[in-house]
A and B are shown apart, each in its own frame.
Chain A
Amino acid sequence: ENATLVKDEL
């Protein structure tokens, strides 16, 4: 699930 994905984009 994207939520756990670290926000690596600006």
Chain B
Amino acid sequence: MNIFRLCGDMSHLAAIIILLLKMWKTRSVAGISGKSQILFATVFTARYLDLFTSFISIYNTCMKVFFIGTVYFTIYLIYMKFKATYDSNHDSFRVEFLIVPVGGLAFLVNHEFAPLEIIWTFSIYLESVAILPQLFMISKTGEAETITSHYLFALGSYRALYLCNWIYRYYAEGFFDLIAVVAGVVQTILYCDFFYLYITKVMKGKKISLPA
């Protein structure tokens, strides 16, 4: 564990807590893409299959349980409890256009052609594009609530911090995982225009409103 990865995990944790607070306090899921949350649930389920078979540390297990628990709770809030406030018309990204290519790529490009490894690779590739339905929804509605912007900033920062973690681990431990790094770079790049909007607007107390 290193400071970059710890900050990354805390940023990820903060993003999930911000999202839950937004939903619980406002009792509304307006502006939140249910499809992205379903993709994140798929990512965590595929990645944490070893939750019960390989024990790394208390921290690792607790975080995995928390991530899986909260993402399914988020889906419950979106599609059941606060279903009336879910904006399905704007959450219209065709996720099959993500899942099929990512699934195919996981079969073709992986570290080892073994079931658990391919499923892990699938979760890495899927995570790098899982935010697209959410970004697409914001571009369609033309705006994002400030709290949603904070959620996205924390979520985007988590993988950017993981990139720093991989640089550190490369020099400190000689650890290098090309698949995770390339997917992490793609994932972080997807947030760049949002980061720009966040820093130029939200940091100055303005709301993010894209030219619809």
Contacts and interface: CB of A to CB of B under 8 A. Distances in A.
Interface size class of A (residues with CB under 8 A): under 10
Interface in A1-10: 1-3, 5-10
A7 to B, nearest CB: 6
A8 B56 contact: yes
* Chain B binding surface SS class: helix
Interface string B9-39: 1001000000000000000000000000000
Nearest to B5: A9
B111 interface: yes
A9 B127 CA distance: 14
Given A2-B177, A3-B117, A10 B67 contact: yes
Interface residues of B, number: 23
Nearest to A8: B56
Given A2-B177, A3-B117, A10 B112 contact: no
Contact of B112 (A3, A7, A8): A3
Nearest to B66: A10
B9 A10 contact: yes
A7 B120 contact: yes
B60 A8 contact: yes
A4 B177 CA distance: 12
* Chain A binding surface SS class: loop
Contacts of B80: none
A10 B111 contact: no
B161 to A, nearest CB: 12
Interface in B141-173: 162, 165
B114 interface: yes
Interface of B: 5, 9, 12, 47, 50, 54, 56, 60, 63-64, 67, 111-112, 114, 117, 120, 162, 165, 175-177, 179-180
24 contacts: A1-B111, A1-B112, A2-B111, A2-B176, A2-B179, A3-B111, A3-B112, A3-B114, A3-B117, A5-B175, A5-B177, A6-B54, A6-B56, A7-B54, A7-B120, A8-B56, A8-B60, A9-B5, A9-B165, A9-B180, A10-B9, A10-B12, A10-B60, A10-B63
